[in-house]
Amino acid sequence: MSDNATAARRSAIYLLDQILGEGRLLSECLAAGALDRLGPEDRARAQRLTLETLRGLERADRLLDNHLNRTPALTVHNALRLGAVELCHGEAAHGVVNSMVEIVGRSRKHGRLKGLVNAVLRKVAAEGPEAWPKMRVPRLPEWLREPLIMAWGDDAIAGMEQAHFNGAPLDITVKPGATGPGEALPTGSMRMQDAGQVSALPGYDKGDWWVQDAAAALPVRVLAPQPGEKILDLCAAPGGKTLQLAAAGAEVTALDVSENRLERVRENLQRTGLKATVVAGDALEHQGQFDAILLDAPCSATGTIRRHPDLPFAKDGSEFGGLIELQAQMLAHAWTLLKPAGRLVYCTCSLLPDEGEVQVEEALDQYPEMAVDRDALSIAGVEPGWITEEGGLRLRPDYWPDRGGMDGFYIACLNKST
């Protein structure tokens, strides 16, 4: 048994404990240094195991329930869940079972349950791989599934859940004049199904491209930045849209409230050789006048579950009301920063209409000088069925099912007449 494999599994169990027990997002755990003691390969493995377990959690629990009289302590339960997912994904039973027994056995609090772990996982190893593909696609929790069904219908949600279960390939945006690895998508992004270590891919060190989901790359294409334009990127971190704007030759101000998150923006600007003014500050207090504004507003992030399966488990929807109010406030303030005849792209990586379509409908009622620019959506790869009644662009994970889906996004281009 590999000590490194056991270390990665132990770290994955810790991450599952934090997500499922403490309601912490995976990104928060990683930012706090949860995997800093591991080498690069083991960090990547621990993250992959965590994500695979969360995606398959419903199936794992159904398999385990057949062999448990009562639910064990969370850490033990998560060890069993991780082991079940690995076994059903084809990992050798000997290595998985022994590793989980060792991890639980070394715990002062739970060591006495190592026999249970051994017995249960050996039963799962015998029956799980055959049963796994016959089980239903894991569903979203009801707090999220119900409003999404109301918005999009049963068939669409089934497609989204399949996309979430499949996970996400790696998409990149290539700098103008450069080349990048992968297969070209209709909207211009490049996609790789099994990319491996990102920093080892050709062109990364040269700064030829950056990681950015195909859906997340569309707001800037809708904005259509021009060389020399003064453009404000509100809520800019982690910086993919800032890089797009800068690559188009715009004079970009990248603003975000988080100084720590802006460090990633600066790193990406340095790696790609692109330039932008990076500012830490509150979007509701920033001042100035701009030719164009990109507002990627804070939101529920429900459109990113295929890449972030921790979200439905770490959240419960209680923050939605506050986020919706904040989005309206940010849109209202951003509108005051836009020059006459300017344009503002409002977008959120959300599947909830209240964070997208409804926000724009209410803004249009409030500001007589605001108009939706439908022509801005006439860009390569955008299908007519994605355009909404009020003139926005609705993207969903169940789109492009044969290509690997896309993030859920809402995008609208708003023109200012005076």
Q: Catalytic amino acids? A: 349
Q: Is residue 238 reached through a cis peptide bond, with omega within 30 degrees of 0 on the bond before it?
A: yes
DSSP secondary structure, 367-418, as one string: -TTEEE-GGGG--TT--GGGB-TTS-EEE-TTSSTTTT----EEEEEEEE--
* Residues sharing a CB contact under 8 Å with residue 31, sequence separation 6 or more, in sequence order: 260
Residue 344 backbone dihedrals phi, psi, to 5 degrees: -130, 130
81 and 53 Cβ atoms separated by less than 8 Å: yes
Rounded CA separation 300/311 (Å): 9
**Alpha helix locations (H) across 250-310?**
259-272
Alpha carbons 250 and 285: distance in angstroms, whole number: 23
Contact 54, 313 (CB under 8 A): yes
- DSSP SS3 for 226: coil
Residues 12/113, Cβ–Cβ less than 8 Å? no
Residue of 316, 410, 407, 414 whose CA lies nearest to 355: 410
What is the spatial distance between Cα 101 and Cα 107, in angstroms, rounded to a whole number? 10
